Structure 1
């Protein structure tokens, strides 16, 4: 039986117990617990990532009561607890996705439907981008963008092209890229690709005016490892408009390092990618599906959802209860559910 004192010093989010109240206060100031954290549907424990939640439910040392119910009524992909085994079967038919895109992957040539509509389309526009690299330099280890693909939210290809390299290619990495020298000989030059993509993403809005994903013309850009892709494309884009599945805190490992797109797709969408010759369209689809799954998380609405908002000082005090501290605590990252708020 827990004492009244231990309950008073117990974090209302992660259930960690502290000897002194001031230690709990310090914990709340540094952990940024919030309604946006992955949460166990059984005991309501907050976890810092879905990998932490997975360990809590089915890891080597799970909480036994949670594990027992999860084994009967829990979805192994989105980690939701359903009302019954029957409800789980119905849910998993929708939750487990399939590749189902082989026909669209075959013999992709140049496709260019990039348009600038100056924000006249209804709703916030979201697109996903992925590249495939060949090797340059004396040992072939320098990444050179040789193929790029962009899709819309409905997985339609907006842009696909091979990219003519600006320096000699010394390793085509054919086993994974499927790219041959003749594919790049008359391809679109990198500078032209860069200009087309940059203009499309900004959508008629000057770069210096892009301050928020809300109400602007610029498009939200989804992908995995986008810093590297954009660097190889020589494209600049504000971080506030980027949704990177390699950096999103709920999708990180428990060590806070990135998971691979291959792992995330298998674990959270239920199918395999990158099993042979890799295609950027397949990567675009996987990252877009992960983004939509994260965006569709239902969290309690907050007037000021970020710890960085001026109204949120996260002023915790030793006279407050753990529940009161959790109520005023805010996240230190932008939850993708806010894109649909």
Structure 2
């Protein structure tokens, strides 16, 4: 086999998404069967390489052990360090970054106002029908060593960052560590606080929005989309169940996770992708709500190709890479295989 034929064959066995090279076409088919590449993955605006997360893309462009030099050089001139988009010129980038970087100045003012006491607009917002809300809690310690997390403060905001609900929460057990340095919570805040069972009932009724829990569906449901970071823990401490199909957790969303598929902290995500710092000194749940809502809105606003059946789990896609089609798939070129490949996670752009 001459070298020219070998190079053509090698090119044919190159993944059209991540550019991995395979010796045989059957290996590329197996890769496509398990990689779930799709247009919903973060993508380099220069070489069009697909990455599994924005952290992988950041490593490709900026800080990885082996960033692609050509992409890195262009990114240094025209790339936004927050959303990782490539702009037309360095001047365009400066203007774009001014809009892309958020500020927490207003957030701090509003959170201090919220800290003064209960803010309850759940009934008013039930009438308005807002469909996306963010929730965050702050925990105090219980148990003999103060290590048992107990919710002592909860905040809910709408997608415009308005406070819907804020209250201190009376834990079900005695508090043995108020964790004042990070929570700012003192015994007097919890003396007449709302009991956790009452908070749970109020929040559940608001989130379900008049719909039975078992009836909640991903589309066409009256129930509200709930945004947050590490929501499993927050909901557990509130003793509150809520269907995962309407939860948007920035700690579990694949594009926002580490290259190792572990969760990033909300503090890191806010600094890296929104451009400001949170959780310095005494922490406020309102700041966490705002950060998660901004991250959610940024992910939701991505312009991806519209597809009738965007998930690999959709019945219409389950046969795309079936073993029974192995020979047919091996006759396809890499671009054709990418065309039929679908995502294995729900992209938040589908909420828009």
Determine if the TM-score, normalized by the shorter chain, exceeds 0.5.
Answer: yes
Equivalent position to 2:336, from 324, 328, 336 = 324
Give the alignment's TM-score, normalised by structure 1.
0.96
Match of 1:7 in 2: 11
Equivalent position to 2:227, from 216, 222, 225 = 222
SS for the counterpart of 1:161 is strand
Is the counterpart of residue 29 in structure 1 residue 33 in structure 2? Answer: yes
SS for the counterpart of 1:56 is helix
Deviation, 1:115, is 2.3
Equivalent residues in 2 for 1:243-254, closer than 5 Å: 243-254=248-259
Deviation, 1:119, is 8.1
Determine if contact 1:127/1:151 at 8 Å carries over to the other structure. Answer: yes
Deviation, 1:102, is 1.8
User: Is the alpha carbon distance of 1:32 and 1:119 closer, same or farther for their aligned partners in structure 2, counting shifts above 3 Å?
Assistant: farther
CA distance in 2, matches of 1:259, 1:295: 19
Determine if contact 2:252/2:263 at 8 Å carries over to the other structure. Answer: yes
Deviation, 1:108, is 3.1
Deviation, 1:211, is 1.5
Match of 2:49 in 1: 45
Which whole-Å deviations, capped at 9, do the CAs of 1:213-265 have from their partners, x for residues lacking one?
x2211000000000000000011100000000000000000000000000000
Superposed CA RMSD in Å reads 1.4
Match of 2:164 in 1: 158
Is the counterpart of residue 296 in structure 1 residue 301 in structure 2? Answer: yes
Deviation, 1:105, is 1.8
Give structure 1 regions of 4+ aligned residues with deviation exceeding 3 angstroms: 116-121
SS for the counterpart of 2:330 is coil
SS for the counterpart of 1:149 is strand
Is the counterpart of residue 172 in structure 1 residue 184 in structure 2? Answer: no
CA distance in 2, matches of 1:77, 1:108: 33
More deviation in 104-113 or 283-292? 104-113
Give the alignment's TM-score, normalised by structure 2.
0.93
Equivalent position to 1:55, from 59, 66, 76 = 59
CA distance in 1, matches of 2:21, 2:59: 20
Aligned length: 337
CA distance in 2, matches of 1:324, 1:260: 38
User: Is the alpha carbon distance of 1:164 and 1:77 closer, same or farther for their aligned partners in structure 2, counting shifts above 3 Å?
Assistant: same
Determine if contact 1:119/1:217 at 8 Å carries over to the other structure. Answer: no
Determine if contact 2:125/2:164 at 8 Å carries over to the other structure. Answer: no
Equivalent position to 1:237, from 231, 242, 252 = 242
Match of 1:129 in 2: 135
Which whole-Å deviations, capped at 9, do the CAs of 1:144-185 have from their partners, x for residues lacking one?
000000000000000000001110111100110000011001
User: Is the alpha carbon distance of 1:240 and 1:119 closer, same or farther for their aligned partners in structure 2, counting shifts above 3 Å?
Assistant: farther
Determine if contact 1:204/1:217 at 8 Å carries over to the other structure. Answer: yes
Determine if contact 1:75/1:81 at 8 Å carries over to the other structure. Answer: yes
Is the counterpart of residue 108 in structure 1 residue 113 in structure 2? Answer: no
Is the counterpart of residue 188 in structure 1 residue 200 in structure 2? Answer: no
CA distance in 2, matches of 1:338, 1:84: 30
In terms of fraction of residues, the more helix-rich structure is 2
Which whole-Å deviations, capped at 9, do the CAs of 1:25-71 have from their partners, x for residues lacking one?
11001110000000000000000000000000012311011000000
User: Is the alpha carbon distance of 1:285 and 1:117 closer, same or farther for their aligned partners in structure 2, counting shifts above 3 Å?
Assistant: closer
Which whole-Å deviations, capped at 9, do the CAs of 1:97-128 have from their partners, x for residues lacking one?
1111221121331011002877873xx61000
CA distance in 1, matches of 2:227, 2:292: 7
| Consecutive unaligned residues in structure 1, runs of 5 or more | none
CA distance in 2, matches of 1:108, 1:291: 28
SS for the counterpart of 2:102 is coil
SS for the counterpart of 1:3 is helix
User: Is the alpha carbon distance of 1:129 and 1:117 closer, same or farther for their aligned partners in structure 2, counting shifts above 3 Å?
Assistant: closer
Equivalent position to 1:87, from 85, 88, 92 = 92
User: Is the alpha carbon distance of 1:199 and 1:116 closer, same or farther for their aligned partners in structure 2, counting shifts above 3 Å?
Assistant: farther
Match of 1:255 in 2: 260
CA distance in 2, matches of 1:17, 1:165: 56
CA distance in 1, matches of 2:143, 2:180: 17
